[in-house]
Amino acid sequence: MAYSKQVQRRAEARLEQARQQNELDCDRRIAAIYEKYPRLAAIDRELRRTSAKVYAAAFRESQDPAQAMERLKQENLALQRERDWILESENIDPEDLEREPICKTCGGSGWRGAVMCECLQELCRQEQKKELAQQLGPAKESFEKFRLDVYPDRIDPKLQVSPRALMQRVYQSAVNYAKTFGLSSASLLFMGATGLGKTFLSGCIARAVADRGFAVCYAPAGKLFSDFETEKFRLKEDGALTGEYFETDLLIIDDLGTEMTTQFTVSALYQIINGRLLSGKPTIVSTNLPDKELEARYSAQIASRLLGAYTLYQFCGNDVRMVRRLEGGI
């Protein structure tokens, strides 16, 4: 999964902290056993010196190396038998004297060659969820909280269907998208007026996809373009703020059109949209702008990619937030 550098850095720091704590715990546990059973400590010291003894015996000219090594073998066997007797008689688990790594797969490094180990992946997933919670805020969007009853059930003459029926299809499509999301999933374009649930469903998808272990970046359009400006004009490290927008498994750009549009923001948006399309990475864009205004504000190239390469979902109905406010709800 393409986790951001910040997420991976925090996960690696947690793994290193856990590794050091594990080593400290092992040292304390073994030291406590040795303090209580000093003979056991002496035996283990002798057994650890075996390699040095074998090496010395092999190069000692006054003795037959074979005889010397046979004698060492018998001595070690005797020590091992005594060790086993102490462990059994004192009911000591042999594993309590082992320094087991925090992860047996990777030894606690977090990597198996160039492949990230599952232990580090799990920490990345946890850090990803923390970051996503900060990006989305305290609302805790979930598909279970999505209310279809706030959408009118009367047939709209223009749509030839009721807003509720249409939003039922949008909702189910969003649920299926999150359940089946993969690195080659389609990109989505959520269009419609303010307050129709675009941000809410985007948040639902973000949380559900992140829960499945994928890297998700949720960015309001204003923050996204601000990061590009900061990186370019304040001489930040190249990619330090914006690299995640190109690399993450799923990028969600919320409220496109609410930012102050300039030639720079248009250029940045084209880089993101075109770059992720070329690399086959899925993106979700939500906007209040109708298709004609998309082209007028951002260029024909951007509009053609959003309207042609993305799967369009049109939101309709009444302002959900206003309905809930009138009901005294959230």
Instruction: Give the mean pLDDT of 190-202.
Output: 93
Give the span between the Cα atoms of 317 and 295, in whole angstroms. Answer: 24
pLDDT in tens, 237-295: 565 678 889 999 999 999 999 998 899 999 999 999 999 999 999 999 999 999 899 99
Mean residue pLDDT across the chain? 88
Question: Any bridge partners for residue 252, and if so which?
Answer: 218, 284
Distance CA 61, CA 249 (A): 66
Q: Band of the pLDDT at 330, cuts 50, 70, 90?
A: very low
Share above pLDDT 70 across residues of the chain, in percent, rounded to a whole number? 89
Tell whether the model's pLDDT for residue 6 goes beyond 80: yes
Helices (H), 59-188: 65-89, 118-136, 163-180
Q: What is the DSSP letter of 106?
A: T
Give the Cβ contact number of residue 113 at 10 Å. Answer: 7
Q: What is the pLDDT of residue 233?
A: 75
Question: What is the rounded end-to-end Cα distance, in angstroms, of the chain?
Answer: 35
For residue 139, pLDDT over 60 is answered with: yes
DSSP 178: H
Ranges 30-39, 47-56, 144-153: which has the least confidence: 47-56
Q: What is the pLDDT of residue 71?
A: 80
Q: Nearest Cα to 178, choosing from 217, 215, 208?
A: 208
SS3 label, residue 261: coil
Q: Provide the pLDDT for residue 142.
A: 86
- Helices within 90-162 (DSSP H only): 118-136
E strands of 257-324, at which residues?
283-287, 311-314
pLDDT at 326: 46
Q: Which CATH number applies to 139-327: 1.10.760.10, 3.40.50.300, 3.40.50.720, 3.50.50.60?
A: 3.40.50.300
pTM: 0.78
pLDDT higher than threshold 90 for residue 51: no
Question: Token pair for residue 236?
Answer: 């930040």
Burial (CB count <10 Å: 0-12, 13-18, 19+), residue 136: buried
User: Would you say 188 and 286 are in contact if contact means Cβ atoms under 8 Å apart?
Assistant: no
User: From residue 119, how far is each of 8, 114, 207 by CA, in Å?
Assistant: 12, 14, 21
Phi, psi torsion values for 238, nearest 5 degrees: -55, 120
